[in-house]
Structure 1
Amino acid sequence: MQAAAATVRVVDHPLVQHKLTLLRQRERSTKGFRQILNEIGMLLAYEVTRDLPLESVTIETPIQSMEAPQIAGKKLVLAPILRAGVGFLDGMLSLVPSARVAHVGLYRDPETLEAVEYYFKAPSDLVDRTVLVLDPMLATANSAVAAINLLKQRGAQDLRFVCLLAAPEGIARLQAAHPDVPVWTAAIDSHLNDHGYIVPGLGDAGDRMYGTR
């Protein structure tokens, strides 16, 4: 029997919502877009790691020994989908500097909108790690599904998808393909247009981050 669809969590923290509004603005500079995307990445990392397991360890403070909590198990893996997913990476690494990084290189065929793989590199022991799949936009979900397919083939079992914006069509597609993967997003927008862009959205996140077209 197929597992129930995973949860979609909309991060409605005021700072996240404020910074998302700044990103949506057409006149936002490349530098400003990149900086704010980095900041939102850090804020989303707080939310998506909220339920990581803790274990008690004995430490020595300057005063005495004590039992204190620390994150249990192996380190996180951050898996940005190239290229726009890299916009989240520095902010998240500043919060979790010991995390491992997997790179998933995919581009969207302009005619079919299907994801085409061109690069994949990941740690060998994904089975023992929580993997955060990063991409600012969950539009058609073709790239998200392809990335998660690759990570699961490498052994990943605990995956979480993190994005800025999601379209209802993308959520439905991702949940149909990977009902075990929960989604964290800052907003769920109205729909996709004929070119597969989120409406009202914020345009192409990769182009706006790198100043390309």
Structure 2
Amino acid sequence: MSFTVIKHPLILDKLTRMRRKETSSKDFRENLNEIGQLMVYEIFRDVPLSEIEIETPVQKTLGYTITKPVVLIPIIRAGLGMTEGIQTLVPTSRIAHVGLYRNEETLEPVQYYAKPTQDIDKSFVIVVDPMLATGGSASKAISIAKEWGAKNIKFVCLVSVQEGVDRLLKDHPDVDIYTASLDPILNEDGYIVPGLGDAGDRIFGTK
């Protein structure tokens, strides 16, 4: 398993825009989509390729194509905010869904929805959620993906803390983690500090 913080200047600039409390839902969503696109380059660095023969306007030549199907698994609802950006660059990807909410007393995830795709066991699977806080929701979603047969799994988030990273390292040592920021701490309510607030609320304008 690897843990990668993608510190590209464009990502850092857009993440700073998202952290500002005065940023509108529209600007928050747009920057989130753009960060998702920028992170794709690193996430897909080791994706398997097959050599194929094609014909250009000049002659036949050899090219490359992604070998495995790609499946995105956003954790509903906030994970939906990163999915569009990734799918823009990987338009053939399919989308499974996992719906989880956090019990505010125990801070543990509760499942209320799960819908897989076909051939997930043969796919390059990316579980997506903007926040990796306690790690409970991410770990649960990855467990669900594994129950469906997924083997080649990566977890992608925007902001993380060490506690959540450690939880995934313990529960799923075979899953690579990608994030745009490792923030210092969780507060007593289980929110990332400094973080960017409740990602779902800011994406959908519900607060």
Aligned to 1:191: 185
5 Å-filtered alignment, 1:50-61, equals 50-61=45-56
Counterpart amino acid of 1:172? D
C-alpha distance in structure 2 between counterparts of 1:45 and 1:123, whole Å: 21
5 Å-filtered alignment, 1:166-205, equals 166-205=160-199
Aligned to 2:42: 47
2:7 aligned counterpart, secondary structure: coil
Counterpart amino acid of 1:152? K
Aligned to 1:208: 202
Deviation at 1:55? 1.6
C-alpha distance in structure 2 between counterparts of 1:20 and 1:38, whole Å: 11
Query: Would you say 1:117 and 2:120 are equivalent positions?
Result: no
Aligned to 2:155: 161
C-alpha distance in structure 1 between counterparts of 2:140 and 2:93, whole Å: 22
Aligned to 1:103: 97
2:125 aligned counterpart, secondary structure: strand
C-alpha distance in structure 2 between counterparts of 1:161 and 1:40, whole Å: 15
C-alpha distance in structure 1 between counterparts of 2:81 and 2:33, whole Å: 6
> Aligned to 2:85, which of 77, 91, 100?
91
Is the CA contact (8 Å cut-off) linking 1:124 and 1:154 kept in structure 2?
no
C-alpha distance in structure 2 between counterparts of 1:101 and 1:191, whole Å: 31
Q: Deviations over 1:35-90 (max 9, x none)?
A: 11111111111210111111211111111111112212x32000000000000111
1:203 aligned counterpart, secondary structure: coil
Deviation at 1:124? 3.2
Aligned to 1:151: 145
Unaligned runs of 5+ in 2: none
> Aligned to 1:21, which of 1, 10, 16?
16
1:43 aligned counterpart, secondary structure: helix
Query: Would you say 1:33 and 2:28 are equivalent positions?
Result: yes
What's the Cα RMSD here? Answer: 0.8
Runs of 4+ in 1 over 4 A off after TM superposition: none
Unaligned runs of 5+ in 1: 1-5
C-alpha distance in structure 1 between counterparts of 2:175 and 2:136, whole Å: 15
Deviation at 1:206? 0.4
C-alpha distance in structure 2 between counterparts of 1:26 and 1:165, whole Å: 16
Counterpart amino acid of 2:114? F
Q: Deviations over 1:113-158 (max 9, x none)?
A: 1101011001132111110000000000110011011000010011
* Residue-pair matches, total: 207
2:157 aligned counterpart, secondary structure: strand
Counterpart amino acid of 2:171? A
Aligned to 1:3: none
